[in-house]
Copies of this chain bind each other. A is one copy, B any other.
Amino acid sequence: MEIKVVRRVLAANEAVAAENRAVFAEKGIFVINLMSSPGSGKTTTLEKAISRIAPSIPTAVIVGDVCTTNDAKRLARAGVPVVQITTDEFGGDCHLAAHVIKAALAQIDLDSIHFLVVENVGNLVCPAEFDIGEDLKGVVLSVTEGEDKPLKYPQMFRVCSFALVNKIDLLPYLDFDKDAALANIRAVNPAMEIFEISARTEQGLDTWIRWLEDRVRAKRRGR
């Protein structure tokens, strides 16, 4: 019974995600949906990446949290439009659903942007289930979280096209087996594009940014 209800919610979500996707295609906007555990470093990563991307590619951000608007304030420092969603208003949802994104899009001038970044609620489980109409899903895995997370949260790692292995500046102080972590990611998703980064020291950030920018430009050319 509970499972039937969940299926109905997901089917309704797919329909709205398809509407969002049609809008993004028409406007030529490339969209990523970035997910992770709480505290993996999504906001710091985006703050640093967007301040490098925005001068050449007009960008906007939608950021989801259960509560507080701290992340929106931090991301606004990158000088781009930011829409904060606090899911408290939607019953404390643990993920961003397509209809919530659709409502947020009304607050963005879609003709003026080429790239839209969605920072999802910090949660390795539920957001993986909800398509929002994005081009690519990505997951941030902090090296402080342990090597086993891809195996323990396989759905998340399966639906994502890229993974940012973050906080690599802390590797000397941890018992973290990076090769095992990468092998676990590939065991769940052999096609995953993996970027090793430190948002704090900015190591590895440029490689990921170039990869993203290529995809933003390809979508605009393909219109």
Contacts and interface: CB of A to CB of B under 8 A. Distances in A.
Contacts of A129: 92
A146 B6 contact: no
B125 A124 contact: no
A148 to B, nearest CB: 6
A106 interface: no
A148 B91 contact: no
A185 interface: no
A56 interface: no
Interface string A114-158: 000000011111100100000000000010111011011111000
A129 B66 CA distance: 13
Q: Chain A interface: which size bin?
A: 35 or more
Interface stretch (A24-32, A75-83, A167-175): A167-175
Contact of A38 (B9, B65, B126, B145): B145
10 contacts: A38-B149, A38-B152, A66-B153, A67-B153, A68-B148, A92-B129, A94-B94, A94-B125, A123-B123, A126-B126
Given A39-B145, A121-B125, 5 more contacts: A6-B91, A66-B153, A94-B125, A123-B123, A142-B144
5 smallest CB-CB distances across A and B, nearest first, come from A39-B145, A94-B125, A144-B144, A37-B38, A37-B37
